[in-house]
């Protein structure tokens, strides 16, 4: 078994470059790290290209034997602890990461779901990852994002999604306004979050709706607000006037869940 110990190794340089969005886009690859994410990637049959394992990291011993058996079916590259510390994106690495082939972001929209969630220039990777996880938790299989939204393959998005990245189809729209107009032709009503309304998230029946979550600082763009069939807001009983974008998304989507359970 060959163990890579030089940071000048071309494969090591390739992994390090995958931390950069432009390089990820050119190579159509991204990195995942940790036992849970790699287990999820294997279970969901993600296109795993290589698995990189730290040969002398203590935490590698905590990888379950059944998972090691599955990992052995892929191309495995072993590196020294010193090299792995150069590659890792986390403070306390578990000694394992993988290179995954990126999914095509230009996919067809599924119009058979009750609701479709769209993000209008969400900037924070943590918010995007958490929204992916929330969308997955309620059984939806797609998420539409504007071109100005954070990179879905950013390491922080991947970690925050907790495996949802492998189950939720992310569709990037070149022009979100046009995409939403097209969805409306399929008998969907467009909902946007806005402070400029008296209508609550609890006043809406969530059936055939597109829910647009706006940018953290500026909210939903003016053009998309003008396209909306309804504007909704989350009632605030305290002095806080707004919520984190991922928290707001969770509140709205779980009102949909509540209504669905009642039906």
Contacts of 64 (CB under 8 A, 6+ apart): 35
134 and 32 within one domain = no
State the CATH number of the domain containing residue 57. Answer: 3.30.1330.30
| Domain presence at residue 54 | yes
Burial of 254 (0-12, 13-18, 19+ CB in 10 A): middle
* Beta-bridge partners for 119: 145, 213
Domain of residue 242, residue span: 115-262
Last residue of a domain, one of 76, 101, 126: 101
- Asked if residues 33 and 90 have their Cβ atoms less than 8 Å apart, the reply is yes
Average pLDDT over residues 184-195: 93
pLDDT band with cut points at 50, 70 and 90 for residue 1: low
Number of domains in the chain: 2
pLDDT over 70 at 219, yes or no:
yes
121 and 177 belong to one structural domain: yes
Question: Above 90 in pLDDT, residue 242?
Answer: no
21-41 residue pLDDT tens = 999 999 999 999 999 999 999
pTM: 0.92
Is residue 106 in some structural domain? no
From 38, 31, 40, select the one nearest 86 (Cα to Cα): 31
Distance CA(122)–CA(218), nearest Å, equals 10
CATH code, 174: 3.40.1280.10
178 within domain boundaries: yes
**134 & 245 share domain:** yes
pLDDT digits (tens, 9 = 90+) for 51-106: 999 998 877 778 889 999 999 999 999 999 999 999 998 888 899 999 999 988 77
The pLDDT value recorded for residue 195 is: 81
Is residue 80 a part of any domain in this protein? yes
pLDDT bin (cut points 50, 70, 90) of residue 196 is confident
What are the residues whose beta carbons fall under 8 Å from the beta carbon of 119, sequence distance 6 or more?
128, 131, 143, 144, 145, 146, 149, 212, 213
Q: What pLDDT is attached to residue 231?
A: 94
Q: Edge-to-edge strands of the sheet including 189-193?
A: 169-173, 142-146, 115-119, 209-213, 189-193, 230-232
Mean pLDDT over the full length of the chain: 93
């Amino acid at each position: 078994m060959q163990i890579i110990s030089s940071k000048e190794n071309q494969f090591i340089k390739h992994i390090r470059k995958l931390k950069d969005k432009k390089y990820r886009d050119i190579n159509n690859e991204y990195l995942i790290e940790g036992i849970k994410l790699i287990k999820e990637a294997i279970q969901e049959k993600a296109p795993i290209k290589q698995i990189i394992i730290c040969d002398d990291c203590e935490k590698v011993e905590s990888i379950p034997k059944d998972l090691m058996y599955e990992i052995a079916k892929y191309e495995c590259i072993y590196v020294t602890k010193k090299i792995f510390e150069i590659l890792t994106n986390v403070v306390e690495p578990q000694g394992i990461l993988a290179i995954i082939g990126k999914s095509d972001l230009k996919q067809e929209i599924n119009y058979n779901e009750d609701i479709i969630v769209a993000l209008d220039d969400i900037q924070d990777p943590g918010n995007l990852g958490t929204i992916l996880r929330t969308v997955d938790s309620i059984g939806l299989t797609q998420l539409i994002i504007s071109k100005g939204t954070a990179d879905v393959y950013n390491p922080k998005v991947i970690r925050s999604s907790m495996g949802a990245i492998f189950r939720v189809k992310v569709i990037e729209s070149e022009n979100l306004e046009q995409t939403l107009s097209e969805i409306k032709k399929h008998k969907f009503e467009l909902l946007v979050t806005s402070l400029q309304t008296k209508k609550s998230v609890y006043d809406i029946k969530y059936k055939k709706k597109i829910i647009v979550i706006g940018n953290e600082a500026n909210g939903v763009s003016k053009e998309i607000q003008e396209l909306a069939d309804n504007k909704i807001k989350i009632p605030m009983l305290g002095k806080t006037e707004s919520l984190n974008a991922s928290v707001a998304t969770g509140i709205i989507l779980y009102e949909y869940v509540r209504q669905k359970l009642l039906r």
